[in-house]
Structure 1
């Protein structure tokens, strides 16, 4: 049987060099979305390295397997990035409230929260959790309250006082650093005689925030509804027995009110490939053992915290054993050896 010949130009397909060039342009255009904190962004660095490793892995594994790995990576990476940034809005709201009460959060604490914004987003469970729903609720409420606080400060100090783009660090006359913003919030609070902790200041804002439907129903109105729809890519498809690239399994119909947080088989396989690729591409390329702690550590970079969840590790070991990924003894703990995917030709 003759092979099907496809006219790339007519089909609108890119050749390899064009695809690489377009992808590079896309990454260059996205540099502005990386937070300039004065130190490497660990989350961005992890996602970028894993994506690069996946690209280099193409051609060394069967095509359908590679597509599955890419899909699982995207299903994990995109929600993690979004949820981590949503946390920053909550933090900025809290810092603003505290500053209005007279206390400016120090730069070291601000940078620490930004740097570690991705940690502990997901906590594996054996029963059910509403933490995803809480992430959405906290973000939407913080976003509305922060908008009101911004208008409040603007009304007290005048529009020119904050007519700039908020950045982590000030890098020009058109930018306003978080530290400068908080200093101006403190000044605004002093001008109208505000005092107290952040929570007491928040009680003055909540009545105004309750006028917004999205504040009262964060997951069903406005941006919260859109975020919930997007985060559904983490959920196991309810009507499919073939979807194993999930992180969440719903226990109730619709929404995130009760979900089990535990990676599906395809996600576990994807992480194993990413860990193995990282070891192969390290400064000292090693074909040494791939152990349980390597896998747990890689998951933690995506906000999946097995270490702090009771019963999560035994469940993980049991699932790895069931899937045939466990080579060593389950009793070895951190050092339990895992089967390394066959990517010996990977460069």
Structure 2
């Protein structure tokens, strides 16, 4: 069995330095830290979470004197409904399994993600749930010293890290099929970026946006609609920018009888933007979202959406992570896609 001393000998440092690096302490030069991580990778050494970091920092609570482990959750943003709802559900699911959750916001920034892994996750957490990473799977593995990790909605080709995915491709395809079934024939997409049929980016990319666009494209293809003819309204996935995008593309929007929005939050902004240019939902134009967040059911008009099983995403992420924490054997990587259904409401 490989020990810290073995890693130290390989890297030319002490076992204490190895410990400092792998626990995320910052009192080691970057060059030395990199050498230690490379040595650990070469020797396939993994930090023993049962004796270091989180397990030595467990908090005794008043709830029957139970001891709680700690998991880290690095999520792309906390000021939007979907990720905040997901973070809450993950925290609840973890607590039921005897773990507390440390939540960090990455803002989809590579430097933030590296810092979270090195300075928070490695120091305090038994494992990490990681969302929308800008880092490669190999770098995540190396930075975390192969600590148990689950990726959220990241379907890049890799062999080692468990992942739970939203049904982006199947859900988006179902959305277009649903709108088509209601008689809509001029369906626009809000929150996508147009790519030509000759562009290989869509088929090669596995991020959430591209997977949802791929689902849309496949649906239009089955109806004989040329992808180049689909109205595409570019907008960041938030309500304020989506509202502005409607005003900026008012003529294009008026040519549509339905808009499929890449997220529910985008749809909220779109509905406001449509009102601002004098269009009523659903009388003048239908609007459909993707996510199934709770707010969509109570807004006016209530939002028709691709309703992802968000509790399932949270529960599966926690369950997969704890399985890895409890069993460090080299079992096969898991890739799970969440369930969904079309929530039929007033907006479409």
**TM-score normalised by structure 1 residue count:** 0.24
RCO comparison, higher one (Cα < 8 Å, 6+): 1
Structure with higher strand content: 2
Structure with higher helix content: 1
